[in-house]
Chains A and B, each alone.
Chain A
């Protein structure tokens, strides 16, 4: 399929355009692929509903329209629904930043689910052990514990990748399951497990939870935010701050520059004197820290949320995060918007089931198709048959270097570059 190579670089051949047109063109280039992927995934989801026709009381087309309308109103339609979407979005943002920052360094963090699990468990253990501590000390310590636990879990991956050349996809899958079973063990163990043989932990005390935005704003401003933010906890603000921090790290710091170089070309980074190994370790630890925060904010955000034995192996956040990071192209704003989209799908799916009688697992199908459409290079083929005015993007925004649409993400069996680097480093020593 040599189609990609034959694409002409039209951007250089066009006459100079107005600033608005230039802006629109860059914007289109960045948004074209994800938007088309989302539309295609929704169309495919509609076809699934048409074929299966779950609600026989209406005709199939009405069923599709009902499903998507309720999906939308159930996630963004009313302020109550929007606030319950935000409840899902804030852990998702943290987990997605975890996947995204690893992407920028050319690493594939499938381990967000496991890092999330150890983060939540660490926070839960602190919260259930030091029940007498006041809120202002307990909450920060719990958050810190989740950051450290996640960073440890991610750091192991980074260490193994950088110094032992073990492929991060494999190690993260292994560490995920170790985390799932390990937390399962702790959840069912003495100090944490709820009495009467339920396989879940005791609920956290109120002072170990993050306050609601509504409660907080009522204390400060009066009551006028009450209806809008309903039951959102303040972790949504933490998530927004984290997005800004992510943007700052990636585009305004030396570390961010270095990991982007490593992501684009590890050998160039090595020759430029960038400490590749140390940075790979640090970026995975940072990714783990983000994912750990996803776990603790999920745990501490909503009252009465206990960890159950299968809480983590069935929690979709870790895998949603991969879709979000890919869809957002690893950029801060992209992650924010995609997290809203996927969080909205998840939270709207209950309304879709209740009103349109479509099983919420349709969301999983749409999500998987979304992944296919983003990852697969259909678009060069598609673009050839599209009318000219529709040609938005010129180049797949998934830069090959970041997530390996060609050969770079899994360079020479995935460990080759690291092995080369080890050899290079050894050569350096000999000299």
Chain B
């Protein structure tokens, strides 16, 4: 019984389609986190940046649509707005933690709170009678990208070649970030700034500028993930839409040991938890609620990773310490 259900779940195309979709949703903010933490700025605000991005994408898309802009253009501008909105939130985080030397955890918490407060508040102000954002028509959602004949391959087609357009962008970004961090001059500088900013400064690296860029790019990526979530997957906005995904991304980043590829692997594992949730409900027809416990698995895995049973995770050496040119 158990193995039958498990086998059916693991061979179903739906499971893997959902798994990859969830993983792509997680990998964007998680990569943002990797870039930010590698440069030495602790970022627990991916949740808030994603939420802001999701909000901006839906609001701008709907607004442009009602102004008579054609559908495709309003979606594209909505995605751009999401990226910019995420970047602006990240800019606040960068400003407080780099210039004003605030505690980066407090700043991150404040970003998460203000994102929740501001989006809920603006939904109330901007929608008629404050009744919330309507569900988007399909013409205003991010389309899936069919790969012609590839999409018709029996099993693989639906899993790999009928995903949302942002999914493929996410894969490109993943490869790009891995290349950037470990194969380019800038990547070397980013890592140096995160490990020993004084040394990097002496070698002529502009520590603050680099950290600013890294924190902001974490916001851009999280904002893009927000647009993917709101315009691509859910097709609606409400202030609870991110539902802890930013925190799972944080977990994935740590589980992946602060490397892009490791993080992507962690996102796949965590995404599988999402993909298996519906098929595994058949395991206990009397208590479908049991699958709620599956949702805890990403966090349990991460705790185990932190404790060091699968090799200890260590953050960059200067992570969380504001850079002060006068020290040492």
Asked whether A177 and B299 contact (CB < 8 A) given A52-B125, A414-B320, the answer is yes
Asked whether A375 and B107 contact (CB < 8 A) given A166-B307, A185-B292, the answer is yes
CB pair A185 B110 closer than 8 Å: no
CB pair A181 B106 closer than 8 Å: no
CB pair A359 B289 closer than 8 Å: no
Question: Shortest Cβ distance from B325 into chain A, in angstroms?
Answer: 8
CB pair A175 B125 closer than 8 Å: no
**How far, in whole Å, are A167 and B313 apart by their CA atoms in the complex?**
10
A275 in the interface (beta carbon within 8 A): no
Which of A228-236, A249-257, A299-307, A399-407 has 4 or more CB atoms under 8 Å from chain B?
A: A399-407
Question: Shortest Cβ distance from A316 into chain B, in angstroms?
Answer: 9
Residues of B within 8 A of A415 (CB): 314-315
CB pair A372 B102 closer than 8 Å: yes
A247 in the interface (beta carbon within 8 A): no
Please provide the chain B residues from 140 to 185 with a CB less than 8 Å away from any CB of chain A in the complex: none
CB pair B296 A177 closer than 8 Å: yes
B133 in the interface (beta carbon within 8 A): no
CB pair B292 A319 closer than 8 Å: no
Residues of B within 8 A of A166 (CB): 303, 306-307
Tally A-B pairs: CB < 8 A: 181
CB pair A361 B120 closer than 8 Å: yes
B69 in the interface (beta carbon within 8 A): no
Asked whether A412 and B317 contact (CB < 8 A) given A363-B117, A406-B322, the answer is yes
Q: How many residues of B are counted as interface, with CB atoms below 8 angstroms from the partner's CB atoms?
A: 62
Asked whether A364 and B299 contact (CB < 8 A) given A326-B106, A371-B106, the answer is no
Which of B4-12, B21-29, B220-228, B246-254 has 4 or more CB atoms under 8 Å from chain A?
A: B246-254
CB pair A371 B244 closer than 8 Å: no
- Closest A residue to B243 using CB positions: A313
CB pair A175 B299 closer than 8 Å: yes
Interface of A is mostly: helix
Residues of B within 8 A of A412 (CB): 317, 321
CB pair A413 B317 closer than 8 Å: yes
**Interface 1/0 per residue, A160-193 and B, CB below 8 Å:** 1000111101110111011011101100111000
A341 in the interface (beta carbon within 8 A): no
Q: How many residues of A are counted as interface, with CB atoms below 8 angstroms from the partner's CB atoms?
A: 62
Question: Shortest Cβ distance from B126 into chain A, in angstroms?
Answer: 9
Residues of A within 8 A of B243 (CB): 313
Residues of A within 8 A of B42 (CB): 410
Residues of A within 8 A of B92 (CB): 372
CB pair B315 A169 closer than 8 Å: no
**How far, in whole Å, are A416 and B314 apart by their CA atoms in the complex?**
10
B318 in the interface (beta carbon within 8 A): yes
**Interface 1/0 per residue, B44-70 and A, CB below 8 Å:** 100000000000000000000000000
Residues of B within 8 A of A405 (CB): 101-103
Asked whether A174 and B251 contact (CB < 8 A) given A364-B114, A406-B322, the answer is yes
- Pick from B113, B125, B254, B315: contact of A364, CB below 8 A: B113
Which positions in B face A, CB cutoff 8 Å?
Answer: 42, 44, 92, 96, 99-107, 109-111, 113-114, 116-118, 120-122, 124-125, 130, 240, 243-244, 247-248, 250-251, 254, 287, 289-290, 292-293, 295-296, 299-300, 302-303, 306-308, 312, 314-322, 324, 326-327
